[in-house]
Amino acid sequence: MTEGLKQATLALRGGITARQPGVSVTPDIVPGSSFYADAEGVGFSANELTGSPPPFYTRWGNPTLTLLEDRLTALEGGAGSVVFGSGMGAISALFLSRLKSGDHLVLSNVCYAGAAELALDILPGYGIEVTRVDTSKTESVAAAIRPGKTRLVHIETPANPILRVSDIAAIAEIAHRAGAEFSVDSTIATPVATQPLLLGADYVVHSLTKYLVGHGDALGGSITARDIENATALRAGPLIHFGAVLSPFAAWLILRGIETLPARMRIHEENARSVARYLEGHPAVASVLWPGLESHPQAEIARRQMKNFSSLLSFTVKGDAKALASRFARELQVISYAVSLGKTVSLLFYIPTDDLLRSAFRLEGEAQADYRAAAGEGVFRLSVGLEDADDLIADLARVLD
């Protein structure tokens, strides 16, 4: 029973019902791929899947995966969740199941590179039209809607890598007024900071690879739906037939990570605040982008919809950024020069603007100018970990000073 429990408790107890003597307090891994079946139960075809049948075949469902799904549902305040083998597996499942030829998608023009490339390179081949806008400008979302044709509005907030923040409640109203569904990639925020379903979203997507597992040792993705019918459809359709299934062992690692998520996010945020303030005051730094700073362009929205500002920040520098990136890679001793985010350890990586605009974002005109205004010639994306903040600052100072 999880009704009324706080998130720190849900992170530990969400989805757990068995408390009988002899049952392990720590959830077991169930690695099996098939399960004893009732001759009168589930049919051989997944097309006959309805309700919540007992485990039958792990591509359809598995006790370890089910526990993870139930815990995510509790943390997000949703009706049901489906987990996938990666964050891109989740995004692909959402787009390719909710959109068909002739439909229109409105998408954040700054988002995870894989999602941008899927929208630009794959969806048009299926006859799906895509309009990308700066979703931090609510009026741009409204202008992009095509009544009767727009089926899905998808945003990422905060958006990787320049941490734009979009108004979830306002965009939900715009999408629903037009008869479209609305999904939010909340990977950077996590459910500790924001619960998009409670602000009007129909779906919330996570790359479980990041903050949820927290230790950088498992890939995973998830979709939590506001309505149980949509969660069931995601399982019966894209999960089972596209096959991007999460392994039980990865699910168990993610469950273990979620247990400490609320506590980790407190330290992540505290450290990020210290590092962001240090960088903002450094003479070699041109700008710092972190939702918790008063200087952030959408600071007011962030304060309204985020209980925790997470630990991903980006900064630009006044000198030769590429040369500085090489020095960071060689000289950092505490922070790791590597991609990804949300780990216990701090990660820094340089993202050149020209490279990103050419390969993934492909922005033009005003959209490109807006991105360049925020990112300059490139951003240093820093995922602040759980090390002592003084040690992180000293490590940065070793190179910046």
- Work out whether the CA dihedral 40, 45, 48, 52 comes out positive or negative: positive
**Residues whose CB is less than 8 angstroms from the CB of residue 50 and which lie 6 or more positions away in sequence, other chains included:** 232
Which DSSP helix (H) or strand (E) runs through 244? Answer: none
Counting DSSP H helices and E strands in the chain, the numbers are: 16, 12
Distances in Å between the Cα of 94 and the Cα atoms of 9, 82, 150, 174, 269 are 29, 11, 15, 20, 30
Catalytic residue among 103, 134, 167, 185: 185
Helices (H), 77-213: 87-98, 113-117, 138-144, 168-177, 190-193
Look at residues 132, 140, 130 and name the one whose alpha carbon lies nearest to residue 103. 130
Specify whether 210 is catalytic.
Answer: yes
| Residue 110 CB partners (closer than 8 Å, separation 6+) | 134, 156, 159, 160, 161, 162, 164, 361, 371
| 167 counts as catalytic | no
User: Which stretches within 221-260 are classed as H helix?
Assistant: 228-234, 240-242, 248-259
Which residue among 98, 103, 112, 226 is the active-site one? 112
Residue type, 345: V
Which pair of structure tokens corresponds to residue 352? Answer: 């050149």
Asked if residues 106 and 141 have their Cβ atoms less than 8 Å apart, the reply is yes
370 closest CA partner among 109, 169, 22 = 109
In the residue annotation, 59 being an active-site residue is answered as yes
List the one residue out of 205, 224, 226, 208 whose CA is nearest residue 216: 208
Interatomic CA distance for residues 216 and 253, integer angstroms:
10
- Please pick, among 71, 98, 210, 264, the residue that the annotation labels catalytic: 210
* Residue of 13, 57, 59, 303 marked catalytic: 59
The maximal CA–CA distance of the chain, rounded, in angstroms, is 72
Q: Is 112 a catalytic residue?
A: yes
The residues annotated as belonging to the active site are: 59, 112, 185, 210
